Structure 1
């Protein structure tokens, strides 16, 4: 598979299962500068990860 132009070093969607959600949020917030928030509209109340207003993971 050939990468599309401009696709190198882009972050893709990911899901991370964690037992210590608050600790995981703190770690990734500090290390990567990502924003984490519970999606109140999601029936699972999943924590979503955003960068510059774009959802990139959960």
Structure 2
């Protein structure tokens, strides 16, 4: 079975929801002070945070 072959829409939905939770709540992002996006958002509501400069 391939990694992204799902048996049903519900299986696919579950995997996407798990990844979104991981990405927004547990995965740290170096460009936003090594915080998860939700943590950065919450802290930015009460204190002024300066993000790192991103060069392209």
TM-score (norm 2): 0.25
Higher relative contact order (CA 8 A, sep 6+): 1
TM-score (norm 1): 0.24
**Structure holding more helix per residue:** 2
**Structure holding more strand per residue:** 1
